[in-house]
C-alpha cells in the first residue's frame, strides 16, 4: 500500500497523496524530522525516508533483510531488529544507522519476527513476536533489553502471555502499552518495571494494528 492517512478528531482520513513506493509489513520510525520506512516484504533490504510533504529520499540498503521487523530511534541512531527475508526466513540480526551508514549490532537471543521495540530511557526493549510459523504455538512471551551502554542483550521477565503481530507504545511513565494479536482474543497489557499488568480492555484477533500515544484526548 502507498496510501497515507491522518487522524482528525475521532476519524482516520485518507490524505490526497500517494507515496512513491508501496510497502507491506515494513517498519517505521521518525529521525531528524523525517519518517523512515525500512524492510518492505517486496524489498526487505531497502530504506527510504519522507519529509513533511511526503517527498521521498532513497536511504540505501541495510546489511540484513528486515521485513516483519521492528525499528526504533535511540541514542545509537536508528536500530533495526530481527525480521524475515522471503528467501532466508527469520533472523536475529540487529543493525544501527548513524553518520550515513549501517553497522551491525549485537544479535538478538532468538530469531524473531512480528515483534515490537521501543527506547525506554536509553534502553532498547524488544517485546514478544513470532519464532515459528505455528500460529499461537509460535508466539513468544520473551522480553529482551539492550542497555544503553551494553554490547549484549539481557533476557528480562517475560510477558504474562505470548503475543505477536501486535502494536505497542512507550508511555511517559516508562511503561510499554501493548495491544493487538494476530491469532486470538487478547487483553491490553502494560509492561513496566519488569512486570506485566493486564487491563480489563480486550479485543478480538487483530494483526498489525497501529497505536500512538497522544498527550490529550482526541474525542
**Contact yes or no for 174/189 (Cβ under 8 A):** no
Model pTM greater than 0.75?
yes
Whether 210 shows a pLDDT value over 90: the answer reads: no
Q: How far apart are CA 177 and CA 88, in angstroms?
A: 31
DSSP string, 84-115: EETTTEEEEEEEEEETTEEEE-PPPSS--BS-
* pLDDT for position 213: 84
Whether 20 shows a pLDDT value over 90: the answer reads: no
* pLDDT for position 185: 84
* pLDDT per residue as tens digits for the range 128-181: 999 998 888 999 999 999 999 999 999 999 999 899 999 999 999 999 999 999
Q: How far apart are CA 166 and CA 181, in angstroms?
A: 5
DSSP class of 128: -
Q: What angle do CA 28, 33, 36 make, to 5 degrees?
A: 25
Whether 93 shows a pLDDT value over 80: the answer reads: yes
Q: How far apart are CA 81 and CA 109, in angstroms?
A: 11
Q: Poorest-confidence range of 23-32, 153-162, 196-205?
A: 196-205
What is 3-203's CATH number, 3.30.1360.170, 1.50.10.10, 2.40.33.20, 2.120.10.80? Answer: 2.120.10.80
Amino acid at each position: 500500500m502507498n496510501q497515507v492517512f491522518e487522524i482528525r478528531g475521532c476519524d482516520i482520513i485518507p490524505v490526497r497523496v500517494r507515496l512513491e513506493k508501496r510497502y507491506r509489513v515494513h517498519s517505521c520510525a521518525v529521525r531528524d524530522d523525517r519518517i523512515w520506512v525500512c524492510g518492505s516484504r517486496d524489498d526487505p533490504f531497502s530504506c527510504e525516508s519522507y519529509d513533511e510533504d511526503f517527498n521521498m529520499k532513497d536511504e540505501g540498503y541495510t546489511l540484513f533483510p528486515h521485513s516483519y521487523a521492528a525499528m526504533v530511534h535511540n541514542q545509537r541512531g536508528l536500530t533495526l531488529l530481527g525480521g524475515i527475508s522471503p528467501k532466508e526466513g527469520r533472523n536475529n540480526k540487529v543493525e544501527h544507522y548513524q553518520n550515513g551508514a549501517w553497522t551491525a549490532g549485537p544479535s538478538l537471543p532468538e530469531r524473531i519476527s512480528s515483534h515490537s521495540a521501543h527506547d525506554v530511557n536509553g534502553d532498547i526493549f524488544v517485546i514478544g513476536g513470532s519464532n515459528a510459523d505455528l500460529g499461537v504455538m509460535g508466539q513468544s512471551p520473551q522480553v529482551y533489553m539492550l542497555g544503553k551502554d551494553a554490547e549484549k542483550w539481557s533476557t528480562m521477565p517475560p510477558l504474562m502471555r505470548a503475543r505477536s503481530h501486535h502494536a505497542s507504545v512507550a508511555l511517559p511513565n516508562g511503561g510499554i502499552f501493548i495491544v493487538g494479536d494476530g491469532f486470538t482474543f487478547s487483553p491490553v497489557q502494560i509492561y513496566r518495571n519488569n512486570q506485566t499488568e493486564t487491563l480489563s480492555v480486550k479485543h478480538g484477533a487483530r494483526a498489525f494494528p497501529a497505536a500512538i500515544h497522544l498527550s490529550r484526548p482526541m474525542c
